[in-house]
Amino acid sequence: MKRVHVTGANGFIGREVIARLREAGYAVTGSDLRASPDVRALDLRDRAAVVALMGELAPDIVMHGGAISGAMLATDDPALMFDVNVMGTLNIVEAMRRTGTARLVFLSSNAVYAEADTRDPVPEDAPCGAADAYGASKLAAESVLRAYAASFGIGVVALRISSVFGAERVTPYLISQTLDAVRNGAPIEVTDTRSNMRQFVHVSDAARAVCLAVAAVREGFTPVNITGGTYLSEEQVVRLLLAGLPAPALSVIADRGRHDDGRVGPLDISRAAALLGYAPSVDIAEALTALARPIVPAITPTS
C-alpha cells in the first residue's frame, strides 16, 4: 500500500483528493496550517517542522496542495504569498530530499503562463511569465521543483490547473459573487468575449487529475495542464449559472482591466490525456446550473 501525504489537506481540493485516494486504496496522511481530525498542524514556512513530519511519516509520495490559493487572498501582502507558496514548496521538497521521498505531485496553476496576443491553444511549453504575485509565486515554486528534480532525482508532476469551482469553495470568485448578487437582488457586471475568458474545472475533475498523477510514475519535472474543457466569457458563465432563475440586472462590458484566468488561449490538455489518461468528465453547464438551484433570488429589475 503506497503512502501519500497531502499538504493543504483541509483545503477545497485537498479534502476531495484525500477522499478519492483513500477510496483507491492509498494510505493517506494530511497536514494543514490548522489541525483537524486526521490532519496534522503544519506551517509550511517552518523548515524544521516540515522535515520532522516528513521523517516521521515517511511517505512514498507527497501531494503538495498547501498554498495561498489565489491572487485575491493576499493582494496587500505579496511577501506572505511568496513565503508560503515558494519557501513552503522549497521546505517540502528539501524535506523530501533529506528523508528519501522521491515523488511529488504539485498543484500549480495556469497563472504561470505569460499573456498572449492570440487565443491559440496553450501547451505546456508556451512562454511563462506571470503578471501578479500569485502566478509569480507558482512559477517560482516550479523553478525550485525543476532544480530539485534535475539535481536530486525527485520526480515531479506539476499540475497547471485552471480555476476550480464547486459547491464547497469558500474563496470569493465570479460564481460565488454572482450567486451572492442574486440572493441580494444586486446588479451584476460581467465582461463578454472581448476580454477575460474563463477556464473553469470542477473540483471533482481536478481531484481526479491529482489522483491520476499520483498513480503515474514520471522522472524529472513534468508540467501538465488541467482544465474542464470549456473556454467561456464571464457573460457566458453567468448566463449558464442563472439559467432557470429570474434574470437579475446584468450589465455586459468589454473590459475591466482584470483577467482572472490570464490573457491566454484555452489550455491544451493533450499531454494530460496522453500521460495521465485525463479528460474532463463534468459537464460545466450542468454543474453551474446545479450550483444555482438552491438560490432564492431577491426581486430585482431585469435588463
pLDDT digits (tens, 9 = 90+) for 53-101: 999 999 999 999 999 876 556 667 889 999 999 999 999 999 999 999 9
Q: How far apart are CA 241 and CA 292, in angstroms?
A: 6
Categorize the per-residue pLDDT at 303 as very low, low, confident or very high, splitting at 50, 70 and 90.
very low
Helix (H, G, I), strand (E, B) or coil at 293: coil
133, 109 in Cβ contact below 8 A? no
C-alpha distances in angstroms, 68 versus 22, 65, 83, 97, 299? 25, 9, 10, 24, 36
The pLDDT score that the predictor gives to residue 70 is 65
The pLDDT score that the predictor gives to residue 142 is 98
- pLDDT (tens digit, 9 = 90+) per residue, 2-42? 999 999 999 999 999 999 999 999 999 999 999 999 999 99
Domain ranges of the chain: 3-165+201-226
- pLDDT (tens digit, 9 = 90+) per residue, 103-119? 999 999 999 999 999 99
Return phi, psi of residue 147, to 5°: -65, -45
Of 165-169, 280-284, 296-300, which range is least confident? Answer: 296-300
Helix (H, G, I), strand (E, B) or coil at 8: coil
30, 5 in Cβ contact below 8 A? yes
- Please state which CATH class domain 3-165+201-226 belongs to: alpha beta
262, 111 in Cβ contact below 8 A? yes
Q: How far apart are CA 18 and CA 26, in angstroms?
A: 9
**pTM as predicted:** 0.94
The pLDDT score that the predictor gives to residue 302 is 46
Q: How far apart are CA 212 and CA 208, in angstroms?
A: 6
- pLDDT (tens digit, 9 = 90+) per residue, 174-184? 999 999 998 88
Q: Which residues, in sequence order, are CB contacts of 109 under 8 Å at separation 6+?
A: 134, 135, 138, 160, 161, 162
Count of C-beta atoms within a 10 Å radius of residue 280: 20
Q: What is the mean pLDDT of the chain?
A: 93
